[in-house]
Each structure stands twice: as C-alpha cells, then as structure tokens.
Amino acid sequence: MNDHETGSARTLETVARACDVIETLEKRDGVGVTELAMALDLSKSSAHSYLNTLREKRLVVKRGDTYHLSLEFLYLGKSVRHRHVLFEHGKSTVDRLAERSGEYAHLMCEQHGLERNIYKVPGENAVGDDYHTAKEQKPDYLHFTSTGKAVLAHLLETRVRSIVDSYGLVRKTEHTITDLDALLAELESIRERGYAVNDEEEIKGIRAVGAPIRSANGEVLGAISVSGPTSRLNDEYYHDELPRMVMESANVTEASINMSTASETL
C-alpha cells in the first residue's frame, strides 16, 4: 500500500483515490469505466474495482454503462444538516428573515477555509434562484461574500492568512478585495461595526449584508445574511435598517444556541 505521513497521521492512498472517484462522478454527472480510468490514471480493472466497491456500499449506482453517485448522498447530506447546530437553531430565523426582507436569506459556515451553504430561502422578491441553487452545490471562497467576511473577521489572523495562502484572493468583480492588507483592514472594521457587506464584490448589481453567529465563548460558528439587487439595498435601508435586521437574526440564533447549551447543564 502506497501511503505517506501527514503530520503525525498517515494518508491511505486507496481511500484518497476512492474520494477522487466520488469527486469525478459528481463533476462529470456519471462516467463509464474507461473514462474514469483515464481521468484518474488508473488501470481499467482498478477503476472497475473502485466503482464496484462503492456500488456494493450503495454510494454508487449503475445506469446502463455509466456510474453515478447514489441518492445515499442526499440522505447523508440531510443527516449532516439536521444535526448542524446552525440549522437546528437558525432555520426558523432564516425563514423569517427572508419573509421580512423579501430578499434571499442565507445561513452558512466555514469548512476547510471555504464557504459552505447550510440553508437558503428566497423571499417574495428574491432574485438569482438559479445562481443560488448552483452555488448550493459547490463551496465558494470567503473573501467576497458578506457571510464569508463576517466569519473571517472572527477567525485568528494566522488562520485568515493561511486560508488566503491556500486559495488566494480571486477577483470576481472590480470591487472584490484582492489585497491581503486591504482585507485585514476590512475585517477590522467589520468587527467594529458588527456586520459585513458585500458591495457588488461577487456579482455586479448585487449587494448583501451579513452578520456572524458566535458561540457563548466567542468562537464563530457561521453567519447569516440577506442578498439582493443594489437598487433595493441602498441608502438608509442598506446602511442601517437591514444591518440591524440581520444582526438581530444572528443574535436570536446565538441566543437559541446558548439557551440549549444552558438547558443541558440545568
């Protein structure tokens, strides 16, 4: 077996390869044995063995000659979400925030230095359904979203620097912050204000306001936000009313989490 040490723990090459198979099946929406073998530089018989094992374990299904991820992933994903503290305590608040603002409301957390969407709800006038549905299916960078910046603002600076080292500061629009010092200064002002904005930094014409959700001991758990067209998120509403609404929602979620922790130790 071809393994190598990572820190103190070894990595299992065969397991890593199996994860690559899963990733390839998702990216290509189903592959044949030959295509998979070529994509991952495996022998055909080896590719077949990976697929066969994942199929026996019900993570993969075969349709005709192609292999696809099974609906087991939907079960696993829903299970992960239902147990997530932010979903448990934040879902109803996000529902209400979408209703109050009429725009898209989002709940997310950081995992592996990337933004992970946990839950999203379109309000009555929400724009970008297709976009947000597409985003839901892949992680995104943290430095150009209001939620991502709200989270970054409450991580240790060494962690922020390490995330930027890993992923860089990809430019999405002319307003994206692509300089580390500028980002660190922005994070400082987010901490002072209590909320973050995405001022057309991801998409031209779209703004967002996000606030961090923190545990009782100050650790950042994720963030909540509202996004919408710049023509509606402007003036007083953008600079005052909406930030207060979003921070209130973060606070309500935090309080719910803290009460649940407290009731466990009653």
Residues 182-211 that bind a copy of itself (CB under 8 A): 202-206
239 binding a copy of itself? (CB under 8 A): no
75 binding a copy of itself? (CB under 8 A): yes
Select from 7-15, 149-157, 159-167, 185-193 the region that touches a copy of itself (CB under 8 A).
7-15
158 binding a copy of itself? (CB under 8 A): no
Least distance (Å) from a copy of itself to the CB of residue 184?
Answer: 26
| Amino acid letter, residue 208 | A
139 binding a copy of itself? (CB under 8 A): yes
Select from 52-60, 151-159, 161-169, 180-188 the region that touches a copy of itself (CB under 8 A).
52-60
Calculate helix-pair angle for 44-56, 33-40, nearest 10 degrees. Answer: 110
The residues pairing with 2 across neighbouring beta strands, listed in sequence order, are none
One residue of 216, 239, 240, 241 binding a copy of itself per CB under 8 A:
216
Q: Are 31 and 67 in contact (CB under 8 A)?
A: yes
Output 136 or 157, the one with its CB closest to a copy of itself: 136
74 binding a copy of itself? (CB under 8 A): yes
The H-assigned helical ranges of the chain are: 13-28, 33-40, 44-56, 72-83, 85-101, 129-136, 146-152, 157-167, 180-193, 235-236, 242-264
For a copy of itself, the binding residues in 119-138 under the rule CB under 8 A are 127-128, 130-131, 133-138
One residue of 3, 41, 188, 241 binding a copy of itself per CB under 8 A:
3
How many residues appear in the chain?
266
Output 5 or 181, the one with its CB closest to a copy of itself: 5
40 binding a copy of itself? (CB under 8 A): no
29 binding a copy of itself? (CB under 8 A): yes
One residue of 38, 41, 65, 78 binding a copy of itself per CB under 8 A:
78
One residue of 111, 162, 166, 189 binding a copy of itself per CB under 8 A:
111
d(CA 101, CA 246): 10
d(CA 85, CA 202): 27
176 binding a copy of itself? (CB under 8 A): no
Closest CA to 254 of 209, 224, 215: 215
DSSP string, 64-77: TTEEEE-THHHHHH
Select from 151-159, 160-168, 182-190, 252-260 the region that touches a copy of itself (CB under 8 A).
252-260
d(CA 13, CA 9): 13
Backbone angles phi, psi at 228, to 5 degrees: -170, 175
Output 20 or 184, the one with its CB closest to a copy of itself: 20
| Amino acid letter, residue 66 | T
One residue of 19, 43, 64, 158 binding a copy of itself per CB under 8 A:
19
Residue 117: how many CB atoms within 10 A of its CB? 17
166 binding a copy of itself? (CB under 8 A): no
